[in-house]
Amino acid sequence: MALESEVQTILSRIQMQRDEMLSQLVKWAAINSGTSNLAGIRQLSDLVLDELRTFSDDAHAIAIEPQLFVNPHGDLRERSIGDVLLGTCRTGAPRQAILSIHLDTVYPADSPFQNVKQRGDLLHGPGVADAKGGLVVLLWALKAFEEYVDQTGDITLGWRVILNCDEEIGSPGSREVFSTHCEGVDFGLLFEPCLPNGSLVGQRKGSGNFEVVVRGQAAHAGREFEKGCNAIVAAARVAEKLHALNGRWHDTTINVAKIDGGGPTNVVPDTAVVRFNVRYPSADIEAPLIAALDRIVEETGDGITLIRHGGFFAPPKPMTQEYESLLRAVQANGKTLGLDIAWEPTGGVCDGNRLAAFGVPNVDTMGVRGGNIHSPQEFMHCDSLVERTQLTFLTLITLASRFE
């Protein structure tokens, strides 16, 4: 499409800002912001909030209530969650957008993977792709869009930025913030990394995390073995039954990920926790799957009790007409920039699932090109900072005036 002179000028300026964007990303990636590292989360949040305030009508932090989790001993405990950052602009505009990405990473405070290094076009470091690169793209694209608004006087589109710190554990605390701010929103852009080839993610599966707490009876393994009820053995039976559910429902997987429990070899263990994840393609699978889980929990032996915790935290994200229209708008803007953008389904989940369930169609992989996320080999293509910032800027202009 033919571009206005204002748009062409801003696109060129974004290109010249590459090194500045990269420098900011290096600085932010060097700050450990693992979900449970509240000090690191606060340090990063303060920097990001300062940046957000430079072009928002309002920007502030929202405190999140502590969330319950099952500890390795099978007990429910509270864990604190970092604040959600909320920025808004033109809340009374006729069209509204949500732009969002998470600040937390999967790397804990004591992770050895903390150095950020550049090798040619590749930047290696914790969260450079997932999702601090996307954070940089979001902020710089919005700054470019606000420059466009200042030059053209086009105030059709207002926006809300939601930056949460618990996405890597399923957004248990920030989910309510998303729900509160979805009313009246026309579309969403989220900045998870796109696929390494530049493709977007289309349809997503749903996901649920569960725990089965197994209680038995401790005993001396030598003197009174017969008085014990072995929770580890019972947990192994539960794990086997869970695994046997694979194949029962189309394209649905049950992954038994971990068993906590046990101790000294001369003690019959009295507690174990079976942790597992479910991925499923459609909401109609939830009820029969829960029924199957409940039957497993009810099948207890003498001296063993089972309690199920957890649930579905990210509903499936199907391909709707509105969603496809959004994807095609991004694709068309990519073509303007010389990018060949496609999309494909995935079993992964993100906050895009939750936004879609709240009625907001969204493209959730507007972030940088990278790979090996959640591993010490995580990387990002440096040139994708400019590429995706320009793409987001054009998409905001496009969607400010239409949504087919």
Residues of the chain within CATH 3.30.70.360 domain(s) are 206-314
Per-residue pLDDT band for 404 (boundaries 50, 70, 90) equals very low
User: Is residue 403 predicted with pLDDT exceeding 70?
Assistant: no
Give 4-17 pLDDT, tens digit per residue: 889 999 999 999 99
Average per-residue pLDDT for the chain: 96
Residues of the chain within CATH 3.40.630.10 domain(s) are 5-202+317-401
Give 317-348 pLDDT, tens digit per residue: 999 999 999 999 999 999 999 999 999 999 99
Q: Euclidean distance between the first and final Cα of the chain, in Å? A: 17
Per-residue pLDDT band for 149 (boundaries 50, 70, 90) equals very high
In whole angstroms, give the CA distance from residue 1 to residue 92: 30
Tokens of 144: 């470019």
What local confidence, expressed as pLDDT, does residue 301 receive? 79
Domain 206-314 has CATH 3.30.70.360: yes
Domain 5-202+317-401 has CATH 3.40.630.10: yes
Helices 384-401 and 321-336: crossing angle in degrees, nearest 10, is: 120
Neighbours of 1 (CB within 10 A): 9
Tally the residues of the chain: 404
Give 254-282 pLDDT, tens digit per residue: 999 999 999 999 999 999 999 999 999 99
DSSP 157-212: EEEEEEEES-GGGT-TTTHHHHHHT-TT--EEEEB--B-TTSPEEEEE-EEEEEEE
In whole angstroms, give the CA distance from residue 377 to residue 114: 11
Cα-flanking dihedrals φ and ψ of residue 54, to 5°?
Answer: -70, -20
Q: Phi/psi class of residue 120: alpha, beta or left (left: φ > 0; alpha: ψ in -120 to 50)?
A: left
Q: Is 185 exposed, middle or buried (0-12, 13-18, 19+ CB in 10 A)?
A: buried
Q: What does the H/E/C string look like for 23-43? A: HHHHHHHCCCCECCCHHHHHH
Per-residue pLDDT band for 23 (boundaries 50, 70, 90) equals very high
Q: What Cα–Cα distance (Å) separates residue 400 from each residue in 109, 144, 184, 210, 308?
A: 40, 14, 14, 41, 46
Name, in order, each residue with C-beta under 8 angstroms of 231's C-beta and a sequence gap of 6 or more.
Answer: 214, 215, 216, 261, 269, 270, 271, 272, 304
CA 363 to chain centre: 13
Name, in order, each residue with C-beta under 8 angstroms of 66's C-beta and a sequence gap of 6 or more.
Answer: 78, 79, 80, 81
